[in-house]
Structure 1
Amino acid sequence: MDAEKLKAELAALGWTQRYFSERYGCDQDTVSRWCTGKVPVPAHVGEYFRVVRLAAEILRP
């Protein structure tokens, strides 16, 4: 996952960087660095969003 994909995932869910950082358990500054491309987005972040999408699909009425 790259910075643009991360930003797209956050936007699709309506999540702010702060909301995501609180749920994910990391510092908001870290998420900001990922979103700006200053630091590569770790692969496990992509996996997190994959699980979030699957959960939303399963829970959809």
Structure 2
Amino acid sequence: MTPDDFHAALAELGWKQSDFCRMTDTTKNTPSRWATGATPIPGWVPHYLDMALKIRRLAALIEPPKV
């Protein structure tokens, strides 16, 4: 996963980096280092974000339409 992929996944989910940190119990500096390319993004991150995106898409299928 590239820093651009990381940003794109967060944007699609509507998350800020702080949201990601809160949900994954990572420090606020960690995703910042990934986003700038200073530190490689660990292999679990794309899997986590992919799972979150799939859940978001599935939830959209069962949510009642907004009136």
Matched with 2:59 is 59
TM-score (norm 1): 0.89
Matched with 2:44 is 44
After TM superposition, the runs of 4+ consecutive aligned structure 1 residues lying more than 6 A away are: none
Distance 2:15 2:28 in 1: 13
Corresponding pairs, count:
61
Which consecutive unaligned segments of at least 5 residues does structure 2 have? 63-67
Highest CA radius of gyration, 1 or 2? Answer: 2
Matched with 1:31 is 31
For residues 16-51 of structure 1, the C-alpha deviation after alignment (integer angstroms, 9 at most, x for no partner) is: 111111111101100100111100111100000111
Aligned to 1:35, the other structure's residue is in SS state helix
Instruction: Give, as a single letter, the amino acid of the residue that structure 1 aligns with 2:11.
Output: A
Distance 1:19 1:34 in 2: 15
Question: C-alpha root-mean-square deviation of aligned residues, in Å?
Answer: 1.0
Instruction: Give, as a single letter, the amino acid of the residue that structure 1 aligns with 2:38.
Output: K
Structural mapping, 1:5-24, within 5 Å: 5-24=5-24
TM-score (norm 2): 0.82
Deviates more, 1:12-21 or 1:37-46: 12-21
Which consecutive unaligned segments of at least 5 residues does structure 1 have? none
